Amino acid sequence: MEHSAPSSTEPHYGGYTRFELELEFVQCLSNPLYLNHLATQKLLDNPEFVAYLKYLQYFSEPKYIKYLSYPGPTLRALELLQQERFRKDILIPETVARMVEEGFEASTAGLTR
- For residue 46, give the CATH number of its domain: 1.10.10.1340
Q: pTM above the 0.85 mark? A: no
Quick one: pLDDT at residue 12? 87
* 1 in any annotated domain: no
* 2 in any annotated domain: no
Quick one: pLDDT at residue 104? 58
Query: 19 near 58, Cβ under 8 Å?
Result: no
* 53 in any annotated domain: yes
* Alpha helices (H) along the chain: 18-28, 32-40, 47-55, 62-65, 71-80, 84-89, 93-108
Average predicted confidence (pLDDT) for the chain: 87
* Total number of domains constituting the chain: 1
3-state DSSP assignment of residue 17: strand
* 7 in any annotated domain: no
3-state DSSP assignment of residue 54: helix
- CA proximity to 76, closest of 39, 33, 27, 25: 27
Quick one: pLDDT at residue 86? 95
**Rounded to 10 degrees, what is the CA torsion of 27, 84, 32, 46?**
70
Tell me the C-alpha distance between 23 and 27, whole Å.
6
> Using one digit for the tens of pLDDT, what is the confidence trace for 86-106?
999 999 999 999 999 887 555
3-state DSSP assignment of residue 12: strand
Residue 108 has pLDDT above 70, yes or no: no
* 30 in any annotated domain: yes
Tell me the C-alpha distance between 56 and 51, whole Å.
9
